[in-house]
A and B are shown apart, each in its own frame.
Chain A
């Protein structure tokens, strides 16, 4: 399995154009942003002064990255990368060369594994670079970068950042699943990217649809169904990590709804992921490879 993983890795990073824009953009983009900030800080007295007076903490900086990767724009890169990874074999007519060498299930699941590792690599490197790089900017501005990372502080901070990482990773996996499913159906990178994006964004409209149907049917409790969707559970999981409590969406606050526990949300998410991976794998295993 290590060899198959390595093969997938070489294919992805061998496509330098794709790797640069969809993987390296995370660490390289962070370095570029920090370098520009440092340059402005070096050139502008006002900028140095403002950094000195209100220096960011390394914790804020490390957490900021997760806000970016969890945003819709951040998700776009993951979707595009997943579409490239899954559709490349159709695009280059490579399945006919690969499938006789390894069972379909292995090859398909290996793509999910490789995507997961790459996403983790990109996100973690971005977070670490942001944490360290901001320190350099603050140092250049003559400020103090803190607080000192004591054992107690790390004990508090690591679970928070770990939860952000988990949510970002799970969200990336959902984007990957949507792209994979769209790829095996459409065989096209562009169509898969568009379809996956539509699903990702379209999921946010489900509460509105539920509300609308609920009001038409005079059954506002229909809105509870939203608690079973991935979008809500990702948000709920993030809320438990950040605030120590779940959240009830505004539109459900009129009816008696309690936020599920973090564990429940995690289970719901895992079931959804297993379902999506299962469906795309089932479809792929039955598919005739014609090109």
Chain B
């Protein structure tokens, strides 16, 4: 049986009281299997960071509980030693150098090892700038150091909240490949919260989308995207072809020579046959999946 790296069980978080009461997270249940990249998506204020903070025992759920690797996370309980995290923008002691910051964090965790710190600095491309005070770091440099800090204790579960914020395109690409390597080569689990939907689509195995504190979609990326495939058909004459299919399928026009049919791959031969037998000329049939971006907007705007 697969081990759940994260199990968020009917968690609810409420801030404030009376008229000022805000339900940041509302009856959220999530299960993240070990050894995968799990994307956690949602618009601003959806409750992503609150959920991450509850996973890390930084804030207490009003109801429900969070378990990591089968153990409840409340009051640390030792299981957080298996977790490394970058939460809501990397922060450091500005007066210490980047290296010293990592040393302080490593000592706090009880896994101080100068060689590991050096190798992590090299991994995130900060080795040559590690001995400068952190106050002079750009956002991108801080993010790189934040990822190094998250990996200090060689954790089994890495939680990254917007890790590519402030990174240049090359940095984003490096981060993407690093995240995949952590899972594919080192067997870690990565829980990734990001606004970069294209990035999530490329590297995540599963995603959860939350909106207003509630889970609105969850599943394997491939399966979610395959849920809504459509066929783009280039045929002539277009009007006639659309008339033939209209009674059975939902259609939408796409320029003068093609149109979309809301149908899956398995229906393509039937549609083509229908068109050909009725005298239409079919030039091209393309199967199109919806993008994660489309899925995200559908899920979050639909809920709104």
Contacts and interface: CB of A to CB of B under 8 A. Distances in A.
Contacts of B100: 10, 14
A95 B85 CA distance: 12
Contacts of B57: 99-100
B155 to A, nearest CB: 9
B-side interface mostly: loop
Contact of A288 (B60, B75, B83, B95): B60
Contacts of A202: none
B149 interface: yes
A4 B110 contact: yes
B75 A101 contact: no
Interface string B100-131: 10011101111010000000000000000000
A147 interface: no
Contacts of B88: 96
Contacts, number: 91
Nearest to B78: A103
A101 B58 contact: no
B289 interface: no
Interface in A11-27: 11, 14-17
A15 B97 CA distance: 11
A286 interface: yes
B256 to A, nearest CB: 56
Contact of A97 (B76, B91, B96, B112): B91
Contacts of B67: none
A103 B77 CA distance: 8
Interface of A: 3-4, 6-7, 10-11, 14-17, 88, 92-104, 107, 285-286, 288-290
Interface of B: 53, 56-60, 75-76, 80-81, 83-85, 87-88, 91-96, 100, 103-105, 107-110, 112, 149, 153
Given A3-B108, A15-B95, 20 more contacts: A3-B112, A4-B110, A10-B96, A10-B100, A14-B96, A16-B95, A88-B93, A92-B92, A93-B91, A94-B92, A95-B58, A97-B149, A99-B57, A99-B76, A100-B84, A101-B109, A103-B76, A288-B58, A288-B59, A289-B58
Q: Which 6 A-B pairs have the closest CB atoms?
A: A101-B109, A7-B107, A288-B59, A103-B76, A289-B58, A93-B91
